[in-house]
C-alpha cells in the first residue's frame, strides 16, 4: 500500500470509487435529509478486512478472513435520532436511507442550500495507515504462533496447553457531516493473545495475556513477546499454590497497568457525556468538586501513538485529544461526542465512537489512565500491615447509577507486615467508585498502560480501549472470598 496517499485519498479509492460514487453523492444524500426539519445529520462509510489465525493443541488448525462494508446515516433533532444502515454502498441505498431517517423530522422543511463538501485535513496521525494483514505472509504468521507455543511449553514442564491467536484488522472510514465537513481515517489493529494451562497432578490453572495496538508486526519485539510469555506462565504456576482469598474490608494495593481497568469501570463510564447530561451518572453536575483524594489525576488521551484506544479522529471526524477528567482530586471535565457536547453547551472532545457503520456513535473512552504519583511501589506495599496486593485483574463491571463496581482478581497476594505473603485466588473486589476514589492514599511513580488487549462494551457496542495506572493504595475495599 502506498502510504504517501492521505487517508482521504485512500477512503475515496476504497469506499467511493469501487461503488461508483463520489463526494457529490454524499452531499446529495445529506441534502435529502436536511431538506426536512432536522438539526443535524451525518453519513459514515466504512470498510474493514479482518484476519485471524489460531493455534491450539500445538497446531494452527484454523484461520479466517472476513470483509465487511457499509454505511450508516443518522438524522438528529436535538437529542432525538433516526438511523438507517446498509451493507451496500450505492446511490439507491443512500437515497432509501435518507428517506427512512426522515421519520425523526418535525413537521415542515426549511429548504436549505445544497451542502458543499470541505475536507478536513492535517489531523496529526496517531498511527500509520499500513495494513497489518499484508505486513507478513501466512507462513510468518503461523511461525509466530508456533514459536509462542514452543516457547511457552519450554518455560515449564507443567505447561500442558497453549492457545495463541493472532487478529489483524484494517479499516477505512469516511464521515461527512451536514455542514460539509468531510474526514477520513485509516486504522490498523493487531492483537496477539496467549492463554496457557498448567497442570500439576489433577490440579489445573490458567492465565492469559496479550500484546496489541494500532501497529504492524514490526512493533512486536522478541523482548516484549518473551516477557509476556514468562509473565503468563508464571501467573498460572503461582495460582497452583494459591490459597482461598480472605474476606472482609481491608487495605488493597493495586498493581500498575491492566488493573487500571478499575478506573475505567469505576470512574471512566461515569464521565461519559451521555450519562452526565442525562443525570444518570453520579458525577453529573459536579465539575469543580473534589471527587477523589488529593494526588489523583485521571485523563482520557486518544493521542498516544499506536495504542489500542488511540484515534487520529473519532467516528464523527473530531480530532482526538487529551481530556483531563480529574486533576489532583478535582473533577475537571467529561468525555463528549458531538450530540451530547452540543446539548450540554460544551466542545466535543474526540470521544464519539461507534463499533461499526451499523451502530450509532456514543461518548466512549479511548486510552484512560491515572497519571503517575510520587511514591515508590515498594514503599506502598511496606505501608500495609495486613491487606491484599492485587497483581493482576480479571474482568470487571460497574453500575454507573449506584457507582458500585465489581471485579475479580486474576492474581493476588496477601500483604502481611508490609511484605507480600501467600498468593490467593478467587477474590472479588466490590466497592463504590466515588468512595474508593476518596480512599486512595498513595499513588506510585510507576505508571504503566495495559499491553493491548482491552475491549470496552457499552450498550451492546464493543470498541478497543486502553487502560492504565501506577501502583495505588486504597485504604479500605471489600474483598469477597471463601476463607
Partner 1 sequence: MNNLFPHDQAGLDAITAALLDAARRHGATDAVASVSENKGQTAHLRQGRIRALSREVSCGLSLAVYIGQRQGHTHSTDFTPDSLEEMARAACAIAQHTQEDPFAGLPDTDALCKTPLDLDLYHPWEPDSETLVTLARQIEEGIADWPEAASDGAWASAGQSQVRLANSRGFSAGYAQSYHGFTASVLAARDDIRCREFWHEGGRRQGELPAAKQIGAQAAGRAISLLDQRPIASGEFPVLFDARSAISLLQHLCQAISGRPLYMKTSFLGERFGQPIFPEHIDVIEDPFIPGALASQPFDTEGISASRRVLVESGVLRGALLGQYSARRLGLPVTGNAGGNTNVQIASRLTRPDDDLAAMLRKLGTGLMVTNLSGEGARLINGDYSRAARGFWVERGEIRHAVDGVTIAGNLLEMWQSIAAIGADTFVSGAFSTGSILLSRMHVASR
Among 383, 430, 441, 461, binds partner 1 (CB under 8 A): 430
Among 278, 378, 386, 455, binds partner 1 (CB under 8 A): 278
Give 202 or 417: the residue with its C-beta nearer to partner 1: 202
Give 103 or 121: the residue with its C-beta nearer to partner 1: 103
Instruction: Write out the binding residues for partner 1, residues 281-320 only, by CB under 8 A.
Output: 282
Give 9 or 482: the residue with its C-beta nearer to partner 1: 482
Instruction: Find all residues with CB under 8 Å of 366, minimum gap 6, and list them.
Output: 300, 301, 302, 309, 310, 311, 320, 350, 351, 353, 465, 466
Q: Which letter does DSSP use for residue 273 in this model?
A: H
Instruction: Please report, for residues 33, 107, 277, 302, 437, the alpha-carbon distance to residue 110 in angstroms, rounded to integers and kept in the order given.
Output: 11, 10, 29, 38, 50
Among 3, 9, 395, 462, binds partner 1 (CB under 8 A): 395
Site string for partner 1, 186-205 (x = CB under 8 A): -----------x-x--xxxx
Tell me if 444 sits within 8 A of 375, measured CB to CB: yes
- Would you give the distance in Å from CA 292 to the centre of its chain? 23
Among 20, 109, 124, 248, binds partner 1 (CB under 8 A): 248
Q: Using the rule CB under 8 A, give the single segment among 183-191, 240-248, 295-303, 447-455 that binds partner 1.
A: 240-248
Instruction: Please report, for residues 182, 270, 347, 351, 420, the alpha-carbon distance to residue 118 in angstroms, rounded to integers and kept in the order given.
Output: 6, 35, 20, 22, 60
Give 187 or 425: the residue with its C-beta nearer to partner 1: 425
Q: Using the rule CB under 8 A, give the single segment among 36-44, 157-165, 182-190, 290-298 that binds partner 1.
A: 157-165
The half-sphere exposure of 364 on its side-chain side, counting CA atoms within 13 A, is 26
CA distance 302 to 335: 11
- Would you give the distance in Å from CA 49 to the centre of its chain? 19
CA distance 385 to 475: 11
Give 13 or 65: the residue with its C-beta nearer to partner 1: 65
CA distance 141 to 369: 32
Q: Is 231 an interacting residue with respect to partner 1 (CB under 8 A)?
A: no
Give 307 or 458: the residue with its C-beta nearer to partner 1: 458
Give 386 or 482: the residue with its C-beta nearer to partner 1: 482
Q: Is 59 an interacting residue with respect to partner 1 (CB under 8 A)?
A: yes
Q: Is 208 an interacting residue with respect to partner 1 (CB under 8 A)?
A: no
Characterize the bridge pairing of strands 461-464 and 466-469: unpaired
Q: Is 455 an interacting residue with respect to partner 1 (CB under 8 A)?
A: no
Characterize the bridge pairing of strands 298-301 and 322-327: antiparallel
Among 119, 180, 421, 480, binds partner 1 (CB under 8 A): 480
Among 85, 127, 413, 453, binds partner 1 (CB under 8 A): 85
CA distance 315 to 351: 8
Among 278, 258, 370, smallest CA distance to 325 is for 370
Give 138 or 374: the residue with its C-beta nearer to partner 1: 138
Instruction: Write out the binding residues for partner 1, residues 89-148 only, by CB under 8 A.
Output: 100-101, 103-104, 138-139, 142
Among 90, 208, 247, 303, binds partner 1 (CB under 8 A): 247
Q: Using the rule CB under 8 A, give the single segment among 119-127, 278-286, 320-328, 329-337 that binds partner 1.
A: 278-286
Among 143, 142, 119, smallest CA distance to 52 is for 142
User: Distance between the two ends of the chain, CA-based, in angstroms?
Assistant: 58
Binding-site residue total for partner 1 (CB under 8 A)?
A: 72
Task: Give the residue carrying C-alpha cell 463499533.
Answer: 355
Among 11, 38, 82, 381, binds partner 1 (CB under 8 A): 82
Tell me if 302 sits within 8 A of 311, measured CB to CB: yes
Q: Is 6 an interacting residue with respect to partner 1 (CB under 8 A)?
A: no
Among 12, 29, 46, 86, binds partner 1 (CB under 8 A): 86
Q: Is 238 an interacting residue with respect to partner 1 (CB under 8 A)?
A: no
Q: Is 432 an interacting residue with respect to partner 1 (CB under 8 A)?
A: yes
Q: Nearest approach, Cβ of 156 to partner 1 (angstroms)?
A: 17
Give 117 or 343: the residue with its C-beta nearer to partner 1: 343
Q: Is 39 an interacting residue with respect to partner 1 (CB under 8 A)?
A: no
Residue 309 has phi, psi (to 5 degrees) of: -90, 0
Among 280, 378, 386, 462, binds partner 1 (CB under 8 A): 280
Task: Give the residue carrying C-alpha cell 501467600.
Answer: 422
Q: Is 221 an interacting residue with respect to partner 1 (CB under 8 A)?
A: no
Beta partners for residue 200, in sequence order: 203
SS3 269: helix
Instruction: Find all residues with CB under 8 Å of 279, minimum gap 6, and list them.
Output: 285
Among 160, 231, 321, 441, binds partner 1 (CB under 8 A): 160
Q: Is 462 an interacting residue with respect to partner 1 (CB under 8 A)?
A: no
Amino acid at each position: 500500500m502506498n502510504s504517501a496517499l492521505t487517508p482521504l485519498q485512500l477512503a475515496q479509492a476504497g469506499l467511493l470509487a469501487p461503488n461508483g460514487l463520489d463526494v457529490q453523492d454524499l452531499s446529495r444524500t445529506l441534502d435529502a435529509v436536511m431538506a426536512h426539519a432536522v438539526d443535524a445529520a451525518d453519513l459514515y462509510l466504512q470498510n474493514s478486512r479482518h484476519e485471524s489465525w489460531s493455534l491450539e493443541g500445538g497446531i494452527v488448525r484454523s484461520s479466517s478472513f472476513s470483509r465487511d462494508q457499509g454505511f450508516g446515516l443518522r438524522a438528529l433533532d436535538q437529542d432525538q435520532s433516526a438511523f438507517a444502515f446498509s451493507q451496500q454502498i450505492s446511490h439507491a441505498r443512500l437515497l432509501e436511507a435518507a428517506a427512512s431517517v426522515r421519520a425523526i423530522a418535525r413537521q415542515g422543511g426549511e429548504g436549505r442550500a445544497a451542502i458543499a463538501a470541505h475536507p478536513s485535513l492535517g489531523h496529526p496521525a496517531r498511527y500509520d495507515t499500513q495494513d497489518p494483514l499484508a505486513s507478513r505472509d501466512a507462513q510468518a504468521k503461523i511461525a509466530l504462533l508456533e514459536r509462542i507455543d514452543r516457547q511457552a511449553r519450554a518455560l515449564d514442564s507443567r505447561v500442558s496447553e497453549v492457545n495463541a491467536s493472532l487478529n489483524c484488522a484494517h479499516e477505512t472510514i469516511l464521515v461527512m457531516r451536514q455542514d460539509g465537513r468531510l474526514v477520513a481515517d485509516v486504522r490498523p489493529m493487531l492483537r496477539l493473545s496467549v492463554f496457557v494451562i498448567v497442570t500439576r497432578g489433577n490440579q489445573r490453572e490458567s492465565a492469559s495475556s496479550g500484546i496489541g495496538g494500532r501497529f504492524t508486526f514490526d512493533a512486536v519485539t522478541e523482548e516484549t513477546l518473551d516477557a509476556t510469555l514468562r509473565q503468563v506462565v508464571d501467573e498460572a504456576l503461582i495460582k497452583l499454590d494459591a490459597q482461598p482469598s480472605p474476606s472482609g474490608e481491608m487495605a488493597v494495593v493495586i498493581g500498575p497497568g491492566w488493573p487500571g481497568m478499575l478506573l475505567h469501570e469505576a470512574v471512566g463510564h461515569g464521565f461519559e457525556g451521555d450519562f452526565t447530561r442525562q443525570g444518570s451518572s453520579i458525577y453529573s453536575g459536579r465539575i469543580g468538586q473534589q471527587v477523589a483524594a488529593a494526588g489523583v489525576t485521571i485523563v482520557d488521551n486518544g493521542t498516544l501513538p499506536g495504542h489500542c484506544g488511540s484515534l487520529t479522529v473519532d467516528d464523527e471526524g473530531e480530532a482526538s485529544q487529551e481530556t483531563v477528567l480529574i486533576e489532583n482530586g478535582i473533577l475537571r471535565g467529561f468525555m463528549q461526542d458531538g450530540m451530547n457536547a452540543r446539548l450540554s453547551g460544551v466542545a466535543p472532545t474526540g470521544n464519539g465512537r461507534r463499533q461499526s457503520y451499523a451502530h450509532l456513535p456514543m461518548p466512549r473512552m479511548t486510552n484512560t489512565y491515572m497519571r503517575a504519583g510520587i511514591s515508590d511501589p515498594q514503599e506502598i506495599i511496606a505501608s500495609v500491615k495486613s491487606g491484599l496486593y492485587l497483581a493482576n485483574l480479571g474482568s470487571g463491571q460497574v453500575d454507573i447509577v449506584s457507582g458500585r463496581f465489581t471485579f475479580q482478581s486474576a492474581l493476588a497476594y496477601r500483604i502481611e507486615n508490609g511484605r507480600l505473603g501467600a498468593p490467593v485466588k478467587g477474590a472479588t473486589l466490590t466497592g463504590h467508585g466515588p468512595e474508593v476514589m476518596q480512599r486512595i492514599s498513595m499513588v506510585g511513580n510507576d505508571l504503566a498502560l495495559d499491553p493491548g488487549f482491552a475491549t470496552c462494551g457499552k450498550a451492546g457496542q464493543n470498541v478497543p480501549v486502553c487502560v492504565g495506572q501506577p501502583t495505588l493504595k486504597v485504604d479500605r475495599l471489600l474483598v469477597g472470598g471463601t476463607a
